[in-house]
Each structure stands twice: as structure tokens, then as C-alpha cells.
Amino acid sequence: MNGSWIVKLPSARFPAVPENEFVMLALARAVGITLPENHLININDIRGLPEDATNIEGKALAIQRFDRGPNGQRIHMEDFAQIFGLFPEDKYRRRSYANIASVLWAETGEIGTFEFVRRLIFSILIGNADMHLKNWSLLYPDKHTPALSPAYDLVATLPYIQGDQLALTFGGSRSLNEITPDQIRRFADTARLPANPISQLVIETIERTITAWGTLEQKELLPDPMKKNIDQQIQTVAKNTLRLFR
Ligand SMILES: Nc1ncnc2c1ncn2[C@@H]1O[C@H](COP(=O)(O)OP(=O)(O)OP(=O)(O)O)[C@@H](O)[C@H]1O
Ligand SMILES: [Mg+2]
């Protein structure tokens, strides 16, 4: 494997997190979301683990770093807590998804903004409640022009924390049950975006996710109850949302 890599080890609290993230990344890729290369690896195959991590069993997730170039050179990256001048402990507060979108609209135009909306809708579909300010970043590949970074930390969190709510408000709501046209209007108004293309993106992302999930081979890596939970989340959000938009 070339380049620089991040390895995410299993969690002591929650089962199968590396498998969960690996499958959600595979699903995101099938939906058209931009992602770094990643692999599920055996922990026994990792060299140079810290002493206290050598007796952990199972799989880990290796993810290629997008803030390093092919020769290891640094690419400047800023997460949205840094961009807003907030402390890390404010990552669930003080700003909304509309505030992020408004920065992306000014700095990256449609490309970054629409990709952000696609990832946000995808996160609601899979039940990923944890998309706080530090899980979104700008990269500066040519040192000057910002671009939304590839996606990271896409984990279905609802199987671990039932009834959880979105990390930040989205059009005034933190619900993971559905996306409403009113929510999209409020989000678009606050971010000063055109609402029509955003609604189109909602429908398109739902349809793509349903189709991709139906044939996704990697989902067999998930423990059965987790697979059922994610399946139910996707189907429920899709049904609740599509009937409001059609
Ligand atoms: N592929 C990548 N390339 C470069 N930096 C990355 C990459 N993936 C993640 N990061 C950085 O590492 C940080 C931690 O990664 P990630 O969010 O995946 O882990 P986490 O431990 O689940 O985080 P959290 O605190 O949100 O639970 C991110 O906030 C981001 O700054
Ligand atoms: Mg994170």
C-alpha cells in the first residue's frame, strides 16, 4: 500500500465498528460520494501497533490519508470547527448544517455544496447521527483554492445508540426519521441556496442509496441485527421522505 494511511481500531464499547464503517464507505462510493481508498485488514497483520493494542482481536479499517500527497507532503486541511473559530468541544453546537453549506457555496460553489448535501442526506438514510463540525473539512490541494475534502467517519451510529438525533440542526430539525420539504426550504433559505436543486438531490440520493444497498455485496460483513437495523433505517427514511416530496 502506497501513501500515508490512518488505521481505525475496533471500539471497546461498540461491536463491529470497522466493519460498519467499511460497509458504509462502500455504500457511499456506490452512491457516488467521493472517498479515500480503504481496506478492512486483520489486526494481526498490522506492524508497529502500540503495546496495549497488540492483544485486540478482529478487523481494523485502513484509510488512505487525503491530507498527504503521494510523497508524504502535507496538504493543508481545516475542519469546520476551525473554520468557524470554535473550540473542539463546540463541535455539536453553535453552528448548523446551513452554516456549513453557506461557506461551501461561497468557497466551492455547486460542486462542494451539492456533494455536502448528498453526504448529509446519505448520513440520515444510514442513521449516522455523528456528522458534527469536525467531520467536515476543507482541503487546499493547490495551497489556495479550497475544496470539500473526501468523506470520512461515515458510520451507522443508530445500531449503537437508539433514538439518537443529528449532530447539528438541518433546516431546524435533528430528526433521523425523515427529511421534509419545509426543512429543505429553511435550510436553503438560511444558506441562501436555490431550494429546487436541493430537493432534487434529496430524491436522487434516496433513490441511489436504495438501489446501491439492494445489491451491495459488502453488507454480508455486518452482524445480522446490524444489517437489519440499517436496512430498516434506509427503507423508513426513504418511504417517509419520498411521499412528502412527490
Ligand atoms: N482519510 C483521511 N485523511 C486525512 N485525515 C483524515 C482522514 N480521515 C479522518 N481524518 C482526520 O482524522 C480525524 C479523526 O478521524 P475520524 O473522524 O474518522 O475518527 P473518529 O475517531 O471516529 O472521530 P470522532 O471524534 O468524530 O468520533 C478527522 O476528524 C479528520 O480530521
Ligand atoms: Mg470524526
**Structure confidence by residue, pLDDT tens digits, 170-215:** 999 999 999 999 999 999 999 999 999 999 999 999 999 999 999 9
State which of 6, 148, 164 you would mutate to test the pocket of ligand 1, scoring each by most atoms of that ligand within 8 A of its C-beta: 6
pLDDT the model gives residue 55: 67
**Structure confidence by residue, pLDDT tens digits, 92-136:** 999 999 999 999 999 999 999 999 999 999 999 999 999 999 999
Burial of 72 (0-12, 13-18, 19+ CB in 10 A): exposed
Q: How far is the CA of 136 from the centre of ligand 2 (A)?
A: 9
Q: Is the CB of 66 under 6 A from ligand 1?
A: yes
pLDDT the model gives residue 45: 86
Across the range 233-238, mean pLDDT stands at 98
Q: Could you tell me the pLDDT band of residue 1, with boundaries at 50, 70 and 90? A: low
- Identify the CATH number of the domain defined by range 69-245: 1.10.1070
pLDDT the model gives residue 228: 98
pLDDT the model gives residue 15: 97
**Structure confidence by residue, pLDDT tens digits, 49-82:** 777 776 677 899 999 999 999 888 999 999 999 9
Q: How far is Cα 238 from Cα 95, in angstroms, rounded to an integer? A: 26
As a whole number, the mean pLDDT across the chain is 96
